[in-house]
Amino acid sequence: MSPAKPLLLALIGHPVGHSLSPLMHSAALRNLNIAGSYEAWDVSNLGEAMDELRRRGFRGASVTIPYKRAVMAYLDDLDEQARSIGAVNTLIRQGESFVGTNTDWEGLIRALKRLTEIRGGHFIVVGAGGTARAALYGLLREGGLPMIVNRTVEHGRKLAEEFGCGYFPLADIGHLEGDVLINTTPVGMTPNTGFSPVPAFVLNRFRLVADVIYNPLTTRLLREAEQAGCAVLSGMEMFVEQGAAQFRLWTGMEPPVALMWQVVREQLEQQGKGAGNRT
Ligand SMILES: NC(=O)c1ccc[n+]([C@@H]2O[C@H](COP(=O)([O-])OP(=O)(O)OC[C@H]3O[C@@H](n4cnc5c(N)ncnc54)[C@H](OP(=O)(O)O)[C@@H]3O)[C@@H](O)[C@H]2O)c1
C-alpha cells in the first residue's frame, strides 16, 4: 500500500515575505503529525500560480493582498460567504475543482465571541473596505446590529445600502455610541503606529474595542481604549482564528489553536517594530 499523499498548501500573494501564515500552519501540521507543507508563494502571475496549484495537486491555499478579489476569476466556484463578502481568502480543492471561500468573518466572530454576545449587540464598524465587508457579513449572520462609520461618504453609503445597515461619516463619530467598536481600517498599523482612527474621547462609550490590526499587537486605539476602561481585542486573535478556520476546511481536523496563537504571538513580539499586517 502506498503512503498517503502529502498535504500541499500554499499562500498566494505579493509580497509574502513577512507573512505569519507559513509559521502558523506549519506548526499546526507538525503538531498533528500531518505529512505536508505550507509554502509562501510571492506571485506575480496569478494565472500561472493557479495552474501550478492544480498541476501539483495542492489541497488548498490562502489568498492575500492583492489577489483576494482577482483570484475569483480563476475559480470553478465560490461559496455563499465569498460571494456575499466579495473577496476570497481561502481556496479549497474539491475533486478537480477549486472553490473559493472567506474565513475572515469567522475569524473575527470567533474572537469577538470570547468577549461579548453578538446577537442584539450594537456594533460600530469603522471602515468600508474588504475587512469591513467580512465584519458586516459575520455580525449580521450572528444577529448583531452593525453601523458603518467611514471617512469617504460615498464608500460608506454604498456599503450600508448593500448590507442594509446605517451609515455615519467618520467626522460624526463623536455623536455615536454602542456596545462594541471595531476598527477595520489600516490606521495605526506599523510603521504608522502614532495614529488612531477615532479620537480617544469617544472610547468610553463602548464596552469593548477591537482592532483588526495585529502589528503592533497593541495599537494606539487599543491602548487608549484600555485607558478608557474598555475591554480590548487585538487583530491577532482574528488572524489566528481565520487561519484555524482554513485549517479545518483543508484537513477536516481540529487545529491546535492555542499553539498557533503562541507561535504567532512570539513571532510578533520578536518582530516588535517592522513589518505591517501580513496574512
Ligand atoms: N487580523 C486579521 O486577520 C486581518 C484580516 C484581514 C485584514 N486585516 C487588516 O485589515 C486592515 C484593512 O484591510 P482592508 O483589506 O479591509 O483594506 P481596504 O479594503 O483598503 O479598506 C480600508 C478602509 O480603511 C479606510 N481608511 C484607510 N485609511 C484611512 C485613514 N487614514 N483614515 C480613515 N479611514 C481610512 C478606508 O476608507 P475610505 O473608504 O475613506 O478610503 C477604507 O474604508 C489592514 O490593516 C489589514 O491588514 C486583518
- 278 occurs within a structural domain: no
pLDDT at 4 over 80: no
Q: What is the pLDDT of residues 68-86, one digit of tens each?
A: 999 999 999 999 999 999 9
- 15 occurs within a structural domain: yes
Q: Please give the residue range of the domain that contains residue 186.
A: 106-233
Q: What is the mean pLDDT of the chain?
A: 95
Q: Do 45 and 74 share a domain, yes or no?
A: yes
Q: What is the pLDDT of residues 7-30, one digit of tens each?
A: 999 999 999 988 999 999 999 999
pLDDT band at 275 (very low <50, low <70, confident <90, very high): very low
Per the residue annotation, which of 5, 68, 113, 158 is the catalytic one? 68
Reported pTM: 0.95
Q: Do 176 and 213 share a domain, yes or no?
A: yes
- 279 occurs within a structural domain: no
| CATH number of the domain enclosing 43 | 3.40.50.10860
Ligand 1 pocket, Cβ-based, cut-off 6 angstroms: 104, 107, 127-131, 150-152, 155, 170, 184-187, 189, 197, 212-214, 235, 238-239, 242, 277
158 is catalytic: no
Q: Do 127 and 39 share a domain, yes or no?
A: no
Question: How many domains would you assign to the chain?
Answer: 2
Report helix, strand or coil for 35. coil
Atom of ligand 1 nearest to the CA of 127: 43
- Contact between 173 and 187 (Cβ < 8 Å): no
- DSSP for 98-149, please give it: EEEE--HHHHHHHHHHTT---TT-EEEEE--SHHHHHHHHHHHHTT-EEEEE
Q: Do 163 and 81 share a domain, yes or no?
A: no
Report helix, strand or coil for 155. helix
Average pLDDT over residues 230-243: 98
Q: Do 53 and 40 share a domain, yes or no?
A: yes
| CATH number of the domain enclosing 134 | 3.40.50.720
Q: What is the pLDDT of residues 126-182, one digit of tens each?
A: 999 999 999 999 999 999 999 999 999 999 999 999 999 999 999 999 999 999 999
- The type of residue at 175 is H
Atom of ligand 1 nearest to the CA of 151: 40
Taking the CA atoms of 248, 254, 256 and 261 in sequence, report the sign of the dihedral they define. Answer: positive
